[in-house]
């Protein structure tokens, strides 16, 4: 049951081979036994989950069941879910009970899925290792000395350790793809504007995008079908017709042109990761694809541009945490300003404060043109590189992350080193393109390696097809960690 696809689980539920209550209880029991060591979940609420499962069983007994009805999904703790504690990995929101549902949560509820719990994450999604979570770091299930990646590290860990059937994540600079790579699972960040940001706690609004994390591309397609769709409550949501992301899964890959950006295979890429990525590309050639050498000349600027834009937007978004309407308030203060300053100083962790400081600086008087505007201009250059590349190829491939999972604590003191672990993922967010990561083997230390697939705007169905055919030909995505 734990290794069944979502399609198989749905069939088993509809055929009454298992009930949603039984399936939910199975996962809750696994969480109870494994989560103390892995720390993938911040909050579970068995009675609420089981009540949802009973409601799903009622739907399954009738004729109203949908593909995900009764399936337990882990929700990243960045999504407001009514009545659920929603912390965003921060002390600031330690006791915040969301008064409403995020669009993503409502979509899963409408589909009859079960909310299994809220997964751990870097504080306000700012981090690449999950070590900035106020609730402690998540452990990588493949090696508990290793980070799971971030910021959706709890989600990646939960999927890899079979602590949920599938999970949600969000990706601002790589936060779905990098942890998916480091934990050996599949994840996709769709085109910016495809999934509503309503009720998804904001980090950098022009980059934030939610997406699914699961064990296979086939599962991702079913999840995307539920998560996507226009929502008027998100001003950047794109009005588009509903599409079936599973429609092209089985199309043959003959004639597929894969672009390999030389910048993604240059200095800084670990040998073992390069070996796995090259082997995956060789597999694609066997499947009928051809290779096109491409260049993304401005991609080296993605990290500096990102570390202007994302903190700038974050400093603005996080100004709402003032200790007045919700969230943490300092116990002692003498006046209003001190109340703000102490509540924010005590409620936010070091990395969040660092980014608020960077953002405040680059947006402050006299610096706007030199930093924010310049970054927005280079952002267009980066997007134009991709436009040009997609005239020559159908998808772009490369590594998701420059190395396999690093050790807990290894990069803790050096923010710049940490930021560079997203060097291959950030440009995709800046351009607003869809990107995904799928398992492609293991590094010399036995830790997973991810293959990144980047598509043109709205090419998710094509990317899932490309990933699915690889997963039919290989078995990396079916491997599971020992001891779980």
Instruction: Tell me which residues are annotated as active site.
Output: 76, 151, 175
Cβ proximity to other proteins, 3 vs 334, nearer residue: 334
Q: What is the Cα–Cα distance from 303 to 22, expressed in whole angstroms?
A: 46
Minimal distance, residue 360 CB to other proteins, in Å: 4
- 215 burial class (0-12, 13-18, 19+ CB within 10 angstroms)? buried
Q: What is the Cα–Cα distance from 451 to 187, expressed in whole angstroms?
A: 11
Minimal distance, residue 383 CB to other proteins, in Å: 6
Subset of 364-383 contacting other proteins (CB under 8 A): 364, 370-371, 373-381, 383
Give the CA count within 13 Å in the CB-facing half-sphere of 322: 8
Closest to 49 (Cα-Cα) out of 20, 77, 76 = 20
Cβ proximity to other proteins, 184 vs 347, nearer residue: 347
Subset of 340-369 contacting other proteins (CB under 8 A): 340-342, 344-345, 348, 353-354, 356-358, 360-362, 364
Among 97, 266, 282, 285, binds other proteins (CB under 8 A): 97
Q: Which two tokens stand for residue 17?
A: 């081979």
Subset of 172-191 contacting other proteins (CB under 8 A): 191
Asked if 103 interacts with other proteins (CB under 8 A), we say no
Polymer length in residues for the chain: 484
Subset of 423-452 contacting other proteins (CB under 8 A): 431-433
Cβ proximity to other proteins, 23 vs 358, nearer residue: 358
- 137 burial class (0-12, 13-18, 19+ CB within 10 angstroms)? buried
Whose tokens are 């006299």? That residue is 366
| Window of 12-20, 93-101, 245-253, 276-284 that interacts with other proteins by CB under 8 A | 93-101
- State whether residue 341 is helix, strand or coil: helix
Minimal distance, residue 149 CB to other proteins, in Å: 21
The distance from CA 187 to its chain's CA centroid, rounded to whole angstroms, is: 7
Minimal distance, residue 227 CB to other proteins, in Å: 18
Cβ proximity to other proteins, 142 vs 424, nearer residue: 424
| Window of 22-30, 136-144, 157-165, 231-239 that interacts with other proteins by CB under 8 A | 231-239
Minimal distance, residue 127 CB to other proteins, in Å: 14
Subset of 7-66 contacting other proteins (CB under 8 A): none
Minimal distance, residue 172 CB to other proteins, in Å: 14
Among 84, 134, 192, 284, binds other proteins (CB under 8 A): 192
Beta-ladder partners of 260: 293
Cβ proximity to other proteins, 328 vs 470, nearer residue: 328
Between CA 75 and CA 464, with CA 157 as vertex, the angle to 5 degrees is 75
Q: What is the Cα–Cα distance from 107 to 392, expressed in whole angstroms?
A: 37
- 341 burial class (0-12, 13-18, 19+ CB within 10 angstroms)? middle
Among 264, 284, 390, 419, binds other proteins (CB under 8 A): 419
Cβ proximity to other proteins, 107 vs 298, nearer residue: 298
Omega before 151 within 30 of 0, i.e. cis: yes
Closest to 219 (Cα-Cα) out of 443, 391, 4, 37 = 4
Do residues 108 and 153 make contact, with C-beta atoms less than 8 angstroms apart?
Answer: no
- DSSP letter at 85? B
Please state whether beta strands 257-261 and 114-119 pair in parallel, antiparallel, or not at all (unpaired).
Answer: unpaired
Cβ proximity to other proteins, 4 vs 316, nearer residue: 316
Subset of 202-221 contacting other proteins (CB under 8 A): 206
Subset of 298-337 contacting other proteins (CB under 8 A): 298, 300-301, 303-305, 307-308, 315, 319, 322-329, 333-337
Minimal distance, residue 466 CB to other proteins, in Å: 21
Q: What is the Cα–Cα distance from 151 to 170, expressed in whole angstroms?
A: 8
State the number of binding residues for other proteins (CB under 8 A): 72
């Amino acid at each position: 049951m734990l290794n069944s696809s979502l399609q198989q689980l749905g069939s088993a539920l509809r055929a009454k081979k298992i009930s949603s209550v039984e399936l939910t209880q199975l996962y809750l029991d696994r969480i109870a036994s494994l989560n103390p060591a892995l720390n993938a979940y911040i909050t579970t609420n068995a009675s609420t989950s089981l009540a949802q499962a009973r409601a799903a069983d009622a739907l399954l007994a009738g004729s109203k069941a949908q593909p995900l009805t009764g399936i337990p999904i882990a929700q990243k703790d960045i999504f407001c879910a009514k009545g659920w504690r929603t912390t965003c990995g921060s002390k600031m929101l330690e006791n915040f009970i969301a008064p409403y549902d995020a669009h993503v949560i409502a979509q899963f509820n409408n589909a009859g899925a079960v909310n299994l719990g809220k997964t751990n994450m870097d504080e306000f999604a700012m981090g690449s290792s999950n070590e900035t979570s106020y609730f402690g770091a998540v452990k990588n299930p493949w090696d508990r000395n290793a980070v799971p990646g971030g910021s959706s590290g709890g989600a990646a860990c939960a999927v890899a350790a079979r602590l949920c059937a599938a999970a949600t994540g969000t990706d601002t600079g790589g936060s779905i793809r990098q942890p998916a790579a480091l934990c050996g699972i599949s994840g996709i960040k769709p085109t910016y504007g495809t999934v509503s940001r309503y009720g998804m706690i904001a980090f950098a609004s022009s980059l934030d995008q939610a997406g699914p994390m699961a064990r296979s591309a086939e599962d991702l397609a079913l999840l995307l079908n539920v998560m996507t769709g226009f929502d008027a409550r998100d001003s950047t949501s794109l009005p588009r017709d509903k599409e079936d992301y599973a429609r092209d899964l089985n199309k043959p890959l003959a004639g597929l042109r894969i672009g390999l950006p030389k910048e993604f295979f240059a200095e800084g890429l670990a040998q073992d990761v390069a070996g796995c990525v090259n082997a995956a590309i060789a597999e694609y050639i066997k499947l009928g694809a051809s290779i096109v050498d491409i260049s993304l000349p401005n991609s080296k600027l993605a990290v500096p541009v990102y570390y202007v834009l994302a903190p700038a937007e974050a400093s603005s978004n996080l100004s709402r945490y003032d200790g007045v309407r919700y969230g943490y308030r300092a116990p002692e203060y003498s006046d209003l300003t001190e109340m703000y300053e102490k509540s924010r100083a005590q409620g936010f962790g070091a990395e969040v404060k660092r980014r608020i400081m960077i953002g405040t600086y680059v947006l402050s008087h006299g610096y706007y043109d030199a930093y924010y505007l310049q970054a927005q201009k280079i952002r267009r250059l980066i997007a134009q590189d991709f436009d040009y590349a997609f005239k020559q190829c159908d998808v772009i491939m490369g590594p998701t992350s420059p190395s396999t999972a690093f050790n807990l604590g290894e990069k803790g003191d050096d923010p710049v080193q940490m930021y560079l672990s997203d060097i291959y993922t950030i440009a995709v967010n800046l351009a607003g393109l869809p990107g995904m990561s799928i398992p492609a083997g293991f590094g010399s230390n036995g830790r997973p390696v991810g293959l990144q697939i980047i598509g043109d705007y709205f090419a998710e169905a094509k990317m899932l097809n490309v990933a699915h055919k690889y997963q039919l030909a290989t078995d990396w995505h079916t491997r599971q960690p020992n001891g779980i």
